[in-house]
Amino acid sequence: MFRHATTVRLYDTDATGALFFAQQFRLAHEACEAFMAAAGFVLPMKPLKAGILLPIVHAEADYTAPLNWGDQVTVEVQPGRVGTTSFVLKYRFCKAGDTLAGTAQTVHVAVSRKTGRPVHLPDALRAVLTASGRRKA
């Protein structure tokens, strides 16, 4: 499982004092980019060279405990279902003492930059997603 360390910054919070809910998706995407880079599939160049985009077609998050300004957060990233043209990334947000603060998932589809239509996941990406699966086991 891939772990990305980050910090809740002032701009992630709102006037209620805690993380603004949509910023959990910012943290998820930061972790997603770090996960891809760590596995050698560096965004945005790798998909660009493969002639694809990886738009998100579904996103969801749960909020379990407040995240506050200055909190050190570990984001765990783990691939979920890997299909022919799409894949799922799952995220867990843990703060100090391993308290679960929330979870998220994003569903990505590989589409051709030329036609905009779904295409097979490139092998290099599939390797990243299934290697992680194996590392987990």
Q: Is 14 known to be catalytic? A: yes
Near its own copies by CB under 8 A: residue from 5, 49, 70, 136: 70
Interaction pattern, residues 104-123, with its own copies; x per rule: CB under 8 A = --x-----------------
Contact 8, 66 (CB under 8 A): no
Among 38, 69, 118, 127, contact with its own copies (rule: CB under 8 A): 69
Residue closer to its own copies, measured from CB, 70 or 133? 70
What is the number of alpha carbons within 13 Å of residue 30 lying toward its C-beta? 17
Q: How far apart are the first and last CA of the chain?
A: 9
The residue whose two tokens read 């003492």 is 97
- How far is the C-alpha of 133 from the C-alpha of 5, rounded, in Å? 20
Q: Which of 14, 71, 98, 123 is catalytic?
A: 14
Give Cβ neighbours of residue 52 (< 8 Å, ≥ 6 apart): 110, 111, 112, 113, 119, 122
11-50 footprint of its own copies as x/- string (CB under 8 A): x-xxxxxx-xxxx-xx--xx--x--------xxxx-----
* Contacts with its own copies, residue ranges (CB under 8 A): 7, 9-11, 13-18, 20-23, 25-26, 29-30, 33, 42-45, 53, 55-63, 66, 68-70, 106
Residues designated catalytic: 14
